[in-house]
A and B are shown apart, each in its own frame.
Chain A
């Protein structure tokens, strides 16, 4: 079976520094693939390459056998690529529902829908779908609230809802659990497991290995822009090369990574 997403020899170099080096990653349709690795391993860079923010200096990216490197940023969504951002980019002056409706933009075809008031019957279908997505992510209480000033956990879920509502074929979740405490993280993991459509291909960048193990059926580990391990999430997380990559780095402590290390420490014994 052909992979839905194929990164083939992809390299991104800034001057002499390779942020991503000769990467070969294949993701099957419908799979939930976790990208793990220490800070600076190149995980978010891969997402930036996929969503069109960066352009690879070598290699190519194929989506359903079609190279996408020439597609500009604002057209990527039409390819079916949706993403969330690590540093969230919610529109602070829009409500939660409006933020989610922004995500639907590519589905809104005829001009008159763009010129019709959002509250009118012409837009009912879009409103309903946005509401549905919001509810599936547990945002029912917040829908008319302005996005600025909401708690971090809620904002994370809005980000996901906004990406989901456009019905992407490939969903990129960039550290969805970062900054959440363990309860919120478990909750988010449950919500995602149930609300993500089974036929949607999902790539998740995450530090929290428990999260990856619960949500994903496949994992790819990176370090210094190179792939160091791949396979079943539990096995990848136990792989000594991966463990060393995490423990051997001098880096500011990420709370999720700290928890993961503690747990991993007991596994690796």
Chain B
């Protein structure tokens, strides 16, 4: 039933939004597509799954997952960002691809290549609201995603770190001259994306009760599409884009097939870029090229 599909979609969208936001902030502020974000997403799911399997409570599992993804993200920064100061922008992107390959294969080695059931304590509890079945874990995931997105928004707009981030987005060189601690601010950016992606992965596990080594790549595509839809660097745009993509996904599964999902999403993405490259809500202000 359509309403049911839409509700499912919206709840799914929350998770995509976290990934979309991580991508979007990294492009908006550091100007590169960070392919290690899907890897961190996967780590969030896999680590929380492993911790739960050992019998620890869910809070500990999620905390462990976040700790792992945040620290991995900072390690990635250590081995990448410093060289952003050169003008070759493909360097951090390629480097992040290297991390993606590294992390995915490490996970295959240690956890195997099969999908693993996620021992969530919530199971598949659900409640009926206005005739629609709402999964409680998914609802909780959605709520938690909203909280994280709102927190991001507040950090970017209200805190010193946020001012630093926005300043670097305009011009790293000028920021440095103005006294922004570029090193720490960028680390802050990596930390935030690590937390967003990791939480997304853990919530995915809780919602879909399954994790695997390639769960990152699937969501990455949709996250990127959501980001382009909502406008790169646009925080609430990432949420809007993610919700739209998730709804497109569930509708495609209902009316076409689950195989068609990727084609449809990629086609939407391609059409978007060719027709409306600034997204629905508009790009962040592009740097004026100084001649």
Contact = CB atoms under 8 A, between A and B. Distances in A.
Contacts, number: 4
Nearest to B289: A53
Nearest to B87: A92
Contacts of B291: 48, 53, 85
Contacts of A87: 290
Nearest to A53: B291
**A contact face: mostly helix, strand, loop, or mixed:** loop
Nearest to A174: B291
Nearest to B288: A14
A48 B290 CA distance: 11
Nearest to A51: B291
Contacts of A53: 291
Contacts of A48: 291
**B contact face: mostly helix, strand, loop, or mixed:** loop
Contacts of B290: 87
A87 B291 CA distance: 8
Interface in A24-64: 48, 53
Interface in B246-291: 290-291
Nearest to A14: B288
Nearest to A86: B291
A48 B291 CA distance: 8
Interface string B167-181: 000000000000000
Contacts of A85: 291
A205 B228 CA distance: 43
A53 B289 CA distance: 10
A113 B290 CA distance: 33
B255 to A, nearest CB: 46
A74 to B, nearest CB: 14
A85 B290 CA distance: 11
Nearest to B290: A87
B93 to A, nearest CB: 20
Interface in A4-35: none
A87 B290 CA distance: 9
B83 to A, nearest CB: 16
A174 B290 CA distance: 14
A92 to B, nearest CB: 10
A53 B291 CA distance: 8
A186 B82 CA distance: 41
A53 to B, nearest CB: 5
B286 to A, nearest CB: 15
B288 to A, nearest CB: 10
A85 B291 CA distance: 8
A53 B290 CA distance: 10
A19 to B, nearest CB: 13
Interface in A201-236: none
A180 to B, nearest CB: 21
Interface string A78-113: 000000010100000000000000000000000000
A39 to B, nearest CB: 15
A47 to B, nearest CB: 9
Nearest to A47: B291
Interface string A138-154: 00000000000000000
A139 B291 CA distance: 25
A117 B96 CA distance: 37
A100 B105 CA distance: 48
A195 B291 CA distance: 26
A87 B87 CA distance: 15
4 contacts: A48-B291, A53-B291, A85-B291, A87-B290
